[in-house]
A and B are shown apart, each in its own frame.
Chain A
């Protein structure tokens, strides 16, 4: 069973409460130990790690910049061999230092990941590859995923997910000219590996958006990227977001947050008249959506308060700019935000999860 990661202070509170329950005779000592074992304190970034990781990133950036400068004095083959040797050297040194210097070893693996990226851009440069740069990030992502799995490394997997995300934002996909079907396999791999190596919220967050972008690409391919159907896409995202939020069973917290962001973002888009085929629809839509958000707020969802504020603020700006002087717009806008902030803090004090 994967351990539930919590902060050090949270574990302290939990221990204190469990101790109290044990002393009161509500819980048995064995049960207390069993419960405590479910939790694990999140590892915080140490000073040494920070130094090492920043160091690898700097060296990696330097190598990328060295490749980008494309000095004619150094032959292409020399540069290519340098990259391969450097990549293998980093990994070999990383492997050799795993037991004696684990932190340095990790940073060497990270440097290897960056050197590999520099290699991709070097090959593009060597053969004057045309087209969009996004394809390079796909190869980068493909190359480092096995390493993320072998090392059980969350940071490398996060990077691979971000690169997959960048790849999917390629103009030809977004405009619906082609669909990268096989990226589905990649998305599944990222999800599985993330589960296997100890779930990372950051990777879950990025990966949560990958299938959503894919849906957008398929939709744009069907409609040939025609803006007249933007409201259909908005409604699809809205439905997906609401479905995620309402289906609470066996969904990780981070995917719930993605759900909130998706339906909130979709609703914000649909709250503009020009998105719809008949522009007045945005009014009943916005009213219905606001009622739904109020229902979520009533159930104690703090994230819904943010969505509610964003919606109100969006309408306030839309309406006020037409007939109020600029200074009033800002003052009233500021007051509204202060009010929202106060309400948010009050609700937070009352308790309730970010999405419950």
Chain B
């Protein structure tokens, strides 16, 4: 095997490794993660590369300020990574505390601080759970379902890494 063939072989291995690497954490979460349910509010956009998806917003993205650590409120830095500790209430997991330190026990999500609303006394967070991809032309039925009464998201969580595994009508 000459030098060029070796380089070419290595170069071709990089994309394959990237594709496999992208699957590692989600697969580990699917196998070992905890199941939780989150309350959502969807709409129905489309992406030219990945197809139709249901764009999801969560009740857990809006947290009362009293649940948030004072340091987070004080620093008020957009993009700060936070941990959101969850507790099951009426079958749905809801936030009970937002911290900078990783919680030692319990189910928690990794989130990003988006906006602090001092007037409404709320803190807006973001999770990487905003898209649920569906088959072409099937997103609308989820939109209609959402309009009638809401949809819940089935999520797998492991060490704060959360992955959408399904959506269900309430």
Q: Number of A interface residues, CB 8 Å?
A: 46
**For the complex, is B163 an interface residue (Cβ under 8 Å from A)?**
yes
List residues of chain A with CB within 8 A of the CB of B15.
87, 116, 119, 143-144, 147
Contact check: which of A68, A116, A123, A151 meets B51 at CB < 8 Å?
A68
Contact check: which of B14, B51, B163 meets A143 at CB < 8 Å?
B14
List residues of chain B with CB within 8 A of the CB of A119.
15, 19
Interface residues of A: mostly helix, strand, loop or mixed?
Answer: helix
In contact, A116 and B19 (Cβ under 8 angstroms) = yes
- Do A133 and B49 contact each other (CB < 8 Å), given the known contacts A83-B19, A139-B22, A177-B79? yes
List residues of chain A with CB within 8 A of the CB of B4.
150
- Give Cα A120–Cα B22 distance, bound, in whole angstroms: 8
In contact, B8 and A95 (Cβ under 8 angstroms) = yes
Interface residues of A (CB under 8 A from B): 64, 67-72, 80, 83-84, 87-88, 91, 95, 112, 116-117, 119-131, 133, 136, 139, 142-144, 146-147, 149-151, 172, 175, 177-178, 224
* Residue from B10, B47, B49, B53 having most chain A Cβ neighbours under 10 A: B49
- Do A71 and B135 contact each other (CB < 8 Å), given the known contacts A91-B12, A131-B130? yes
**For the complex, is B91 an interface residue (Cβ under 8 Å from A)?**
no
- Give Cα A172–Cα B80 distance, bound, in whole angstroms: 12
Contact check: which of A64, A71, A91, A150 meets B7 at CB < 8 Å?
A150
- Please give me the residue from chain A that is nearest to B114 by CB atom: A177
List residues of chain B with CB within 8 A of the CB of A87.
12, 15-16
**For the complex, is B145 an interface residue (Cβ under 8 Å from A)?**
no
- Give Cα A149–Cα B6 distance, bound, in whole angstroms: 12
List 14 additional contacts besides A64-B49, A87-B16; criterion CB under 8 Å. Answer: A70-B51, A70-B133, A70-B136, A72-B135, A125-B133, A129-B131, A131-B130, A136-B49, A139-B22, A143-B14, A146-B11, A151-B8, A172-B79, A175-B78
In contact, A123 and B133 (Cβ under 8 angstroms) = no
